[in-house]
Chain A
């Protein structure tokens, strides 16, 4: 499923003194099969944008009967999210959304019933016990938890990283085509971060076709994403593959963003007269540096 947004704007509390414009004429396309990154300063509208993708935030024309379409385009696969008659429930089944600190949504008595929650909610008719169990077992196993050990535990007994995995399992249990994650690694230690990123790669290969992540960690973005959208004050500044985006070091720094360590190294080398042309993954940078030969380094 392809995601297309054109001229998408959003204002919180429109028409009150608390009105806050969060998205301003955003246009971008995310192809099926991408590992798409969304970066930008805090408050730049990243979360607002991704919450549109499964209809948690809606365009005005999709909320009011008889409201004229206003040139905004927002489609996810065959779903037209600017249309009031769209089946948003069916959409949500296809677009899994993992919020920031998803462990805060855990509520059930056991990990099993928490993960089963989404599966049962989205089922067309009451699913058989065996069916639920199979889906839950698959989801818990794929996120790297030991099904037999955790299924009857309270989700609150798990460790921080395990809680987050359990919460992610609760979202992917319906096998969504698109998985959207809002800062999935926030607040985890370095090992936890690496594990979550590895998990996302695994999911992308075997479970969900498209992954969209909001992230603050530029190394993470440089290593993993096919393309990256840079948000600033509700507008999209760039949509580029990391290999091109991180050449624009100065612009990114001016937008208050960080650059990956590889880009910092390339920049420092550049200031000493050594030009390296790499795609900003650590692997590629090392290869290019070695190819330069010893005499220049």
Chain B
């Protein structure tokens, strides 16, 4: 059951995308999200999808693995699609045939409704897959390094950037450890006859207590130990600390940046001069 949590796990292969500067990848993702929201027609979204597919292939991550990231939001996506198909209405026609395809009480399926839900589903998929591509290709450590570096300007207004990055990296570091721990404790309780994945909601909530309490205790214990270990090494915050890995831009980053710029420029042009408006 824990093995289904594939969203956001680093996928260790060597590729062009993996070797990009994390700061650039974060900016790329932000730019990409902006582009997706600027895209107002299917053609524009199609271009975004093509760029994403290209990036996935470059990153050498199996398509199946990437698509699995969508599983977590599948319900949301289907819900959105259903609402739009049955309630959107509108009388625009996109292909030969009546605008209104089917009607029953308050439900109306129209050509416009179908087009809109296709559009929204595609948009959500692109958002989720695009974001997961960032975490698939960037280790948690370089991700926090990137975020810290990007947030550096905020230090001028005394925002605790370093501390925030430290909290993030500790949290990220402990996710796999706590997942292991959860699995171990679940196994121990299953061996004592706990049924953790059957029964109604009330029963399941009750069944979670024997896992949650030992897990919390162990998390607190680990936090204590980590604090002691940091104290023992005289750790004292961000001032004058140097980095083990310096972030540097390279020609690859320039290349990726050019691609993003072209994408955004294209989408903006299509935003102003729509080709096949929805």
CB of B188 closer than 8 Å to a CB of A: yes
Chain B residue contacts of A121, Cβ below 8 A: 192-195
Chain B residue contacts of A54, Cβ below 8 A: 191
CB of B203 closer than 8 Å to a CB of A: no
Q: Which of A54-99 contact B (CB under 8 A)?
A: 54, 56, 89, 92-93, 96-97, 99
Measured between C-beta atoms, what is the minimum distance from A42 to chain B in Å? 15
Q: Residue of B at shortest CB range from A119?
A: B193
Chain B residue contacts of A108, Cβ below 8 A: 210
Q: A13-B3, A17-B13 are in contact. Are A105 and B185 (CB under 8 A)?
A: yes
CB of A147 closer than 8 Å to a CB of B: no
Selected contact of B191 from candidates A104, A106, A156, A171, CB within 8 Å: A171
Is A107 a contact partner of B192 (Cβ separation < 8 A)? no
Q: Residue of B at shortest CB range from A156?
A: B217
Chain A residue contacts of B190, Cβ below 8 A: 56, 92
Selected contact of A122 from candidates B13, B184, B193, CB within 8 Å: B193
Is A51 a contact partner of B187 (Cβ separation < 8 A)? yes
Measured between C-beta atoms, what is the minimum distance from B99 to chain A in Å? 46
Measured between C-beta atoms, what is the minimum distance from B201 to chain A in Å? 19
CB of A242 closer than 8 Å to a CB of B: no
A102–B11 alpha-carbon span in the complex (Å): 33
Q: Residue of A at shortest CB range from B189?
A: A105
CB of B218 closer than 8 Å to a CB of A: yes
Chain B residue contacts of A92, Cβ below 8 A: 190-191, 193
A174–B188 alpha-carbon span in the complex (Å): 15
A178–B108 alpha-carbon span in the complex (Å): 64
Q: A106-B214, A121-B192 are in contact. Are A56 and B187 (CB under 8 A)?
A: yes
Chain B residue contacts of A93, Cβ below 8 A: 193
CB of A118 closer than 8 Å to a CB of B: yes
CB of B73 closer than 8 Å to a CB of A: no
A51–B186 alpha-carbon span in the complex (Å): 13
A7–B189 alpha-carbon span in the complex (Å): 28
A92–B187 alpha-carbon span in the complex (Å): 11
Q: Residue of B at shortest CB range from A117?
A: B192
- How does the 8 Å CB contact mask read for B96-115 relative to A, with 1 for contact and 0 for none? 00000000000000000000
Is A17 a contact partner of B187 (Cβ separation < 8 A)? no
A97–B187 alpha-carbon span in the complex (Å): 10
Describe A's contact surface by its main secondary structure: helix
Chain A residue contacts of B210, Cβ below 8 A: 105, 107-108, 117
Chain A residue contacts of B3, Cβ below 8 A: 13
A107–B195 alpha-carbon span in the complex (Å): 16
CB of A170 closer than 8 Å to a CB of B: yes
Chain A residue contacts of B192, Cβ below 8 A: 105, 117-118, 121, 170-171
Highest count of chain B CB atoms <10 Å: which of A51, A92, A96: A92
A156–B214 alpha-carbon span in the complex (Å): 11
Q: Which of B190-218 contact A (CB under 8 A)?
A: 190-195, 209-211, 213-214, 217-218
Chain A residue contacts of B213, Cβ below 8 A: 107
- How does the 8 Å CB contact mask read for A281-296 relative to B, with 1 for contact and 0 for none? 0000000000000000
Is B214 a contact partner of A99 (Cβ separation < 8 A)? no
Chain A residue contacts of B238, Cβ below 8 A: none
Highest count of chain A CB atoms <10 Å: which of B192, B193, B195, B218: B192
A100–B185 alpha-carbon span in the complex (Å): 11
Q: Residue of B at shortest CB range from A123?
A: B193
Measured between C-beta atoms, what is the minimum distance from A61 to chain B in Å? 19
Selected contact of B193 from candidates A89, A99, A102, A156, CB within 8 Å: A89
Selected contact of B11 from candidates A17, A51, A104, CB within 8 Å: A17
Is A107 a contact partner of B209 (Cβ separation < 8 A)? yes
- How does the 8 Å CB contact mask read for B1-34 relative to A, with 1 for contact and 0 for none? 0010000000111000000000000000000000
Is A17 a contact partner of B12 (Cβ separation < 8 A)? yes
Q: Which of B159-186 contact A (CB under 8 A)?
A: 184-185
Q: Residue of A at shortest CB range from B65?
A: A16
Q: A13-B3, A17-B12, A117-B210 are in contact. Are A104 and B193 (CB under 8 A)?
A: no
Measured between C-beta atoms, what is the minimum distance from B4 to chain A in Å? 12
Chain A residue contacts of B13, Cβ below 8 A: 17
Measured between C-beta atoms, what is the minimum distance from B218 to chain A in Å? 6
A51–B184 alpha-carbon span in the complex (Å): 11
Chain A residue contacts of B214, Cβ below 8 A: 104-107
Mark B residues whose CB is within 8 Å of A: 3, 11-13, 184-185, 187-195, 209-211, 213-214, 217-218
Q: Can you offer 27 A-B residue contacts whose CB atoms are under 8 A? A: A17-B12, A17-B13, A54-B191, A56-B187, A56-B190, A96-B191, A99-B188, A99-B191, A102-B188, A104-B184, A104-B188, A104-B217, A105-B188, A105-B210, A105-B214, A107-B209, A107-B210, A107-B211, A117-B192, A117-B193, A117-B194, A117-B210, A118-B192, A118-B193, A121-B193, A171-B191, A171-B192
Mark A residues whose CB is within 8 Å of B: 13, 17, 51, 54, 56, 89, 92-93, 96-97, 99, 102, 104-108, 117-118, 121-122, 156, 170-171, 174
> Top 6 nearest A-B pairs by Cβ distance?
A121-B193, A118-B192, A97-B191, A105-B188, A107-B213, A122-B193
A56-B187, A99-B191, A171-B192 given; name 12 further pairs at CB < 8 Å. A17-B13, A93-B193, A97-B188, A99-B184, A104-B188, A105-B185, A105-B210, A107-B209, A117-B193, A121-B195, A156-B217, A171-B191
